[in-house]
C-alpha cells in the first residue's frame, strides 16, 4: 500500500518559520491538491491504502519500544561500534531521555499517520461513493486511529488528541495534552464505530484490511487495559462467532506463504517482491550481527543483532513446548566466542531478493483473543470452566497439557506466562507488563531481571564492562518522555514527571 500524503506535526510547525506567507499561498505543482483529490471510490481507496502504508514504518521499529526494554529481548553487543548507543542501546539499558532520537521519530510517525487518517475521514465526505461503501472506509480509518492512539497513550500517558485535520500550520501550537481518560473514550468510540461499519470478512482481494473482528479484538484489549472486564468479555465474545480458529501448527501463523490465515485477526501487510518499497526486512535487523547469511540466507548481509531473545525468555518455555523451536533460533554460534547467539525465528523465512522479505507483522491473533478472554473472566472472581477452555486450547496447540485446579492468582500467573511465550516478539510484552503492574512493581520486576542479565549476559560483551548507569529502571520510566523537540516547539506542553 502506498502512502498518499505524509505530513508530520513537526513539519506543520516549522513551515511558518521557514516560509513567507506569499510562498505558502502558492500551489505545489508536484504535489496532490487535497481539494481536487478524494473525488470517487478509486481515490478514496488509494487514500485509505496510504493510511495503512504509514503503519508499516511504525511496525518496523516498534520492537525498540515494546520488546527491548523488557525481559524478552536484549542486544548482540558490539564492542567495536557504539554508534547506536544513544538511539538503540538506551532502550535495553533503560537510559533513554527526552532527547533520545528514536522517541522523537516514533512520536512524529504516529501523528503523521493520524494526520493521514483524519484528513481522509474529512475529505472523503464529499467523495462520490455508494452508500454501502462509506461505513467500511470510515471503519477502517477509525480502527487505525484507535490503534495509533492506543499505542500513544500507553507510551506517553496524557497525549495530544486530534480528530480532524489542522486548518492552519500554526494550529499545531494550540494543542495541549488531554487526559488518558479522554483519549481512551475517543479510542473506544472509534472502535465501536469501526465494529459497526466493518465487514466480518472481505473477498480475497481485500485480505489484510481491518475487519469487524479486528475492531472488536482491539476493543477487548482496550477494555482489558482499562480493567473493564465485563466489557472486555462482551466485546471478545463477539469475535468467537466470526469464524477465526487456531492454526494447527504455531509456525504457520507467521509463514509468509500462509499470511492472513484463519488465526490472523489483523496484521500489517508487506510485499517482498513489490517494487514500490512495500517489503519488510525484520530478520536483517534481528539476526545476530556476525551471522552474515547463516540466518538471512544472503551472505552479503550485515545483520543488526538487535532484539535478541534473552536467556530468561528461553528458559521460560516449558519442556515440550513446540512454540520454542518456531520462535527462537539456537543454531548460530559466534565466530569470536563460540557461544550460541539466539535470534528471533518467527520472521526468518526464505525470500527471493536480498533485503526484501515478505513477512507481515502480526498485530492481533486469535490466540491473543482467547488468552484475553480467559484473563478477563478470571479477573471477575475465579477461573471458570470456560476460562480454562480458552487457556488450554492455546496450550494444547503448543503440545502442552491442560492446567486445572488453580486459584485466581495462580491462574493469573499462568496467563501471564502463556502470553509471554505465545506472543513473544509480537510487541505486546511492554504493554502487558504495564497493564498488570504498578510503576513500583514494574520497577522491581525489571531491576530484578536486569541484575540477572548483568550477572550472566545472554550475549558475551567480550570483557567490556557495563556503565554505572546501565540497567537502572526507575518508576517514572513507566511512561516515555515527550520528545524535547516537541516541547521546544510548543511551550504549552508539559513534560512527564522527572524527565
The proportion of the chain whose per-residue pLDDT surpasses 70, expressed as a percent, equals 93
Query: pLDDT tens digits, residue range 131-189?
Result: 999 999 999 999 999 999 999 999 999 999 999 998 887 787 789 999 999 999 999 99
Residue 259 contacts by C-beta under 8 Å, 6 or more apart in sequence?
Answer: 208, 267, 269, 358, 360
Average pLDDT, the chain: 92
pTM score, two decimals? 0.92
Confidence of residue 228 (pLDDT cuts 50, 70, 90): very high
Crossing angle of helices 212-225/180-197, nearest 10°?
A: 160
Number of C-beta neighbours around residue 412 at 10 A: 17
Residue 252: what pLDDT? 98
Contact 327/321 with Cβ under 8 angstroms? no
Place of cell 497439557: 401
Residue 1: what pLDDT? 40
Residue 14: what pLDDT? 27
Residue 35: what pLDDT? 64
Return d(Cα 318, Cα 326) in angstroms, integer. Answer: 14
Residue 171: what pLDDT? 81
Residue 7: what pLDDT? 31
Q: Is the pLDDT of residue 20 over 50?
A: no
Return d(Cα 207, Cα 212) in angstroms, integer. Answer: 13
Cα-atom radius of gyration of the chain, to the nearest Å?
23
Confidence of residue 26 (pLDDT cuts 50, 70, 90): very low
Contact 207/198 with Cβ under 8 angstroms? no
Burial level of 17, CB count in 10 A (0-12/13-18/19+)?
exposed
Q: Is the pLDDT of residue 28 over 70?
A: no
Domains, in order of start, for the chain: 9-26+37-211+266-270+436-457+470-489 (1.25.40.390)
Query: pLDDT tens digits, residue range 467-496?
Result: 999 999 999 999 999 999 999 999 999 999
Query: pLDDT tens digits, residue range 103-137?
Result: 999 999 999 999 999 999 999 999 999 999 999 99
Residue 37: what pLDDT? 82
Residue 86: what pLDDT? 87
The proportion of the chain whose per-residue pLDDT surpasses 90, expressed as a percent, equals 87
Query: pLDDT tens digits, residue range 260-269?
Result: 999 999 999 9
Query: What mean pLDDT is predicted for residues 54-62?
Result: 96
Amino acid at each position: 500500500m502506498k502512502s498518499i500524503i505524509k505530513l508530520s506535526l513537526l513539519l506543520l510547525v516549522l513551515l511558518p518559520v521557514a516560509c513567507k506567507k506569499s510562498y505558502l499561498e502558492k500551489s505545489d505543482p508536484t504535489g496532490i491538491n487535497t481539494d481536487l483529490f478524494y473525488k470517487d471510490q478509486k481515490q478514496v481507496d488509494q487514500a485509505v491504502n496510504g493510511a495503512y502504508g504509514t503503519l508499516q514504518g511504525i511496525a518496523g521499529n516498534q520492537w525498540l519500544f515494546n520488546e527491548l526494554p523488557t525481559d524478552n529481548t536484549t542486544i548482540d553487543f558490539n564492542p567495536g561500534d557504539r554508534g547506536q548507543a544513544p538511539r538503540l542501546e538506551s532502550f535495553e539499558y533503560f537510559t533513554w531521555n527526552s532527547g533520545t532520537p528514536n522517541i522523537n521519530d516514533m512520536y512524529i510517525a504516529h501523528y503523521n499517520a493520524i494526520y493521514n487518517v483524519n484528513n481522509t475521514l474529512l475529505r472523503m465526505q464529499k467523495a462520490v461513493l455508494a452508500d454501502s461503501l462509506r461505513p467500511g472506509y470510515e471503519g477502517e480509518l477509525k480502527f487505525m486511529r484507535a490503534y495509533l492512539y492506543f499505542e500513544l497513550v500507553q507510551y506517553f500517558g496524557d497525549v495530544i488528541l486530534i480528530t480532524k485535520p489542522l486548518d492552519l500550520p500554526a494550529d499545531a501550537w494550540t494543542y495541549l495534552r488531554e487526559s488518558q481518560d479522554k483519549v481512551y473514550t475517543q479510542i473506544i468510540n472509534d472502535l465501536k464505530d469501526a465494529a459497526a461499519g466493518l465487514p466480518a470478512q472481505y473477498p480475497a482481494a481485500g485480505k489484510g484490511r481491518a475487519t469487524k473482528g479486528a475492531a472488536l479484538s482491539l476493543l477487548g484489549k482496550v477494555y482489558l487495559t482499562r480493567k473493564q472486564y465485563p466489557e472486555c468479555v462482551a466485546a471478545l465474545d463477539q469475535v468467537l462467532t466470526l469464524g477465526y480458529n487456531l492454526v494447527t501448527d504455531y509456525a504457520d501463523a507467521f509463514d509468509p506463504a500462509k499470511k492472513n490465515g484463519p488465526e490472523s485477526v489483523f496484521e500489517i501487510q508487506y510485499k517482498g517482491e513489490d517494487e514500490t518499497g512495500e517489503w519488510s526486512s525484520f530478520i536483517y535487523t534481528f539476526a545476530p550481527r556476525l551471522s552474515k547469511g547463516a540466518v538471512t540466507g544472503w551472505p552479503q548481509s550485515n545483520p543488526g543483532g538487535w532484539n535478541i531473545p534473552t536467556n530468561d525468555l528461553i528458559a521460560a518455555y516449558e519442556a515440550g513446548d513446540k512454540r520454542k523451536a518456531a520462535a527462537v533460533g539456537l543454531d548460530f554460534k559466534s565466530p569470536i566466542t563460540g557461544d550460541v547467539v539466539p535470534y528471533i525465528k518467527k520472521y526468518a523465512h526464505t525470500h527471493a531478493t536480498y533485503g526484501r522479505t515478505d513477512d507481515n507483522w502480526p498485530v492481533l491473533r486469535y490466540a491473543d483473543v482467547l488468552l484475553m478472554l480467559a484473563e478477563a473472566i478470571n479477573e471477575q472472581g475465579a477461573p471458570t470452566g470456560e476460562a480454562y477452555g480458552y487457556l488450554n486450547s492455546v496450550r494444547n496447540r503448543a503440545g502442552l497439557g491442560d492446567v486445572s485446579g488453580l486459584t485466581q492468582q495462580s491462574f493469573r500467573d499462568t496467563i501471564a506466562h502463556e502470553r509471554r511465550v505465545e506472543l513473544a516478539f509480537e510487541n505486546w510484552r511492554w504493554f502487558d507488563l504495564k497493564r498488570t503492574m504498578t510503576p513500583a512493581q514494574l520497577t522491581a520486576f525489571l531491576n530484578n531481571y536486569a541484575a540477572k542479565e548483568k550477572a550472566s549476559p545472554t550475549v558475551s560483551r567480550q570483557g567490556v564492562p557495563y556503565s554505572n548507569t546501565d540497567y537502572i529502571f526507575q518508576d517514572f520510566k513507566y511512561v516515555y518522555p515527550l520528545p524535547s523537540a516537541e516541547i521546544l516547539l510548543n511551550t504549552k506542553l508539559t513534560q512527564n514527571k522527572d524527565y
